[in-house]
């Protein structure tokens, strides 16, 4: 476990205010955090699913907070007041120790103790407070895969696909930098020849694939390697759907080269390289993640297509035609009856 991600919702039984937020941090570091507050009558409208994954929760949180600030008159003042309370509280508390306690409770999976701990922190905000909390232990690789899901649509353009089919790229394994959302650096700050960790997305194809898998088996005893360090050997700027992307070439041991597409906004883990193996079929896990994201994109496209189809309304000419057809059918039936029974 590298990170803790504590998501919570607290409701004051005295004022009916609802605060939602999160703490994200490492051991022996002050946590990063964000909150927003709405009156209780808006609690359901702006409720966030605490069971969402890292990236999905942050996206949902950002949208709900922005909307609440725009749409609810009292939300901005309530949120400012809560931050004032938290600043006072954080001066009294040692935030580094708070972060260490959040790390310990998340690592132990003790949700009840965590709920009590947060209730104590919020006691001066409201003496009677009801707290819901979900704590997620995260590895850097987990965060990286969440971001791969988010970037799936962004990198799936015809232009990028054509570039990835270049002779020097098309058979190479696909990898992705291991991210550190707290202390990471951007790809602009990482020089060629530096070594960073990469998550393996696939083994490549053809002879390169077999060579890569053989290398992993011989070196680590399994093909199911989640991440390993590689040396950056080139950076190339590409046009993506939502801005520039960096196309990286990465060299692993035994002369194996991989490729990666990276947004310039991502925070990449630098230093303390490590190899991480997986207890599960790593490529199956990656395939399920990307396939699920692909299906979701296809479903959204189908919904959008249905919404865009014009609704045909009945006109007077349609009604007249229907009446004529009905009279024609009745006439045919009368003729048949006369011929059969006369």
Q: In whole angstroms, what is the distance from residue 99 CA to residue 18 CA?
A: 23
Classify residue 158: in a domain, yes or no. yes
pLDDT on residue 155 = 64
The HSE-up count of residue 59 (CA atoms within 13 Å, CB side) is 9
Give the DSSP letter of residue 15. T
Q: In whole angstroms, what is the distance from residue 189 CA to residue 327 CA?
A: 80
Q: Which domain holds residue 91?
A: 3-138
Choose one of 105, 138, 171: the last residue of a domain: 138
Classify residue 9: in a domain, yes or no. yes
Size (the chain), residues: 342
**pLDDT tens digits, 240-265:** 777 788 999 999 988 899 999 898 88
Do 99 and 233 lie in one domain? The reply is no
**Residue 202 burial class via C-beta count within 10 angstroms: exposed 0-12, middle 13-18, buried 19 and up:** middle
Choose one of 77, 104, 138: the last residue of a domain: 138
Q: Please check whether residue 35 is in contact with residue 20, taking contact to mean a CB–CB distance below 8 angstroms.
A: yes
Q: Any bridge partners for residue 176, and if so which?
A: 199
**What SS3 state is found at 142?**
helix
Tokens of 79: 């949120």
Classify residue 318: in a domain, yes or no. no
pLDDT on residue 152 = 65
Classify residue 41: in a domain, yes or no. yes
DSSP string covering 24-54? EE-TTSPPEEEEEEE-GGGTTTT---TTS-H
pLDDT on residue 339 = 39
pLDDT on residue 334 = 41
* Cα→Cα distances 79→18, 23, 121, 159, Å: 10, 16, 17, 44
Do 121 and 182 lie in one domain? The reply is no
Model confidence, pTM: 0.76
Could you identify the residue written with the tokens 């649509």? 153
**pLDDT tens digits, 198-250:** 999 989 988 999 999 999 999 999 988 989 999 999 999 887 777 788 999 99
Q: Please check whether residue 253 is in contact with residue 219, taking contact to mean a CB–CB distance below 8 angstroms.
A: yes
Do 279 and 202 lie in one domain? The reply is yes
Do 97 and 160 lie in one domain? The reply is no
Q: Which residues contact 21 (CB under 8 A, 6 or more apart)?
A: 7, 8, 33, 34, 35, 36, 61
Do 220 and 248 lie in one domain? The reply is yes
Classify residue 302: in a domain, yes or no. no
pLDDT on residue 239 = 77
Classify residue 309: in a domain, yes or no. no
Nearest Cα neighbor of 264 from 331, 184, 149 is 184
Nearest Cα neighbor of 247 from 256, 259, 258, 255 is 259
Do 28 and 116 lie in one domain? The reply is yes
pLDDT on residue 154 = 63
Classify residue 213: in a domain, yes or no. yes
Nearest Cα neighbor of 87 from 119, 125, 40, 52 is 125
Do 166 and 194 lie in one domain? The reply is yes
**pLDDT tens digits, 73-83:** 999 999 999 99
pLDDT on residue 291 = 66
Do 76 and 168 lie in one domain? The reply is no
Do 186 and 268 lie in one domain? The reply is yes
Do 151 and 119 lie in one domain? The reply is no
Choose one of 138, 161, 196: the last residue of a domain: 138
Given a cut of 70, the residues of the chain with pLDDT beneath it are 151-156, 289-342
Do 244 and 214 lie in one domain? The reply is yes
CA 109 to chain centre: 22
Do 110 and 150 lie in one domain? The reply is no
Classify residue 260: in a domain, yes or no. yes
Looking at the structure of the chain, the number of domains it has is: 2
């Amino acid at each position: 476990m590298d990170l803790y991600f504590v998501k919570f919702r607290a409701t004051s039984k005295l004022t009916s205010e609802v605060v939602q937020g999160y703490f994200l941090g490492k051991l022996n570091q002050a946590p990063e955090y964000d909150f927003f507050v709405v009156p209780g009558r808006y609690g359901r409208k702006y409720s966030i699913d605490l069971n969402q994954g890292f990236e999905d929760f942050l996206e949902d949180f950002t949208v709900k907070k922005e909307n609440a600030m725009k749409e609810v008159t009292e939300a901005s003042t309530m949120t400012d007041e809560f931050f004032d309370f938290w600043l006072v509280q954080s001066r009294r508390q040692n935030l580094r120790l708070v972060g260490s306690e959040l790390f310990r409770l998340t690592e132990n999976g003790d949700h009840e103790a965590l709920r009590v701990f947060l209730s104590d922190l919020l006691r001066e905000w409201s003496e009677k407070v009801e707290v819901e909390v979900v704590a997620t232990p995260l590895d850097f690789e987990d965060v990286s895969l969440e971001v791969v899901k988010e970037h799936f649509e962004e990198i799936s353009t015809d232009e990028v696909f054509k570039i990835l089919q270049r002779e020097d790229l098309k058979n190479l394994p696909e990898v992705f930098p291991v991210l550190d959302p707290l202390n990471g650096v951007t790809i602009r700050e990482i020089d060629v020849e530096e070594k960073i960790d990469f998550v393996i997305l696939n083994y490549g194809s053809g002879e390169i694939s077999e060579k890569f898998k053989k290398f992993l088996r011989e070196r680590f005893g399994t093909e199911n390697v989640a991440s390993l360090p590689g040396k950056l050997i080139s950076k190339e700027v590409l046009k993506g759907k939502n801005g520039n992307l960096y196309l990286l070439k990465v060299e692993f041991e035994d002369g194996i080269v991989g490729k990666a597409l990276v947004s310039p906004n991502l925070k990449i883990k630098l230093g303390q390289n490590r190899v991480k193996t997986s207890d599960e079929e790593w490529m199956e896990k990656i395939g399920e993640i990307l396939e699920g994201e692909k299906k979701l994109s296809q479903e959204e496209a189908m919904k959008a297509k249905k919404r865009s189809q014009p609704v045909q309304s009945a006109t007077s000419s349609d009604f007249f035609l229907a009446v004529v057809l009905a009279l024609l059918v009745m006439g045919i039936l009368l003729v048949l009856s006369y011929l059969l029974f006369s």
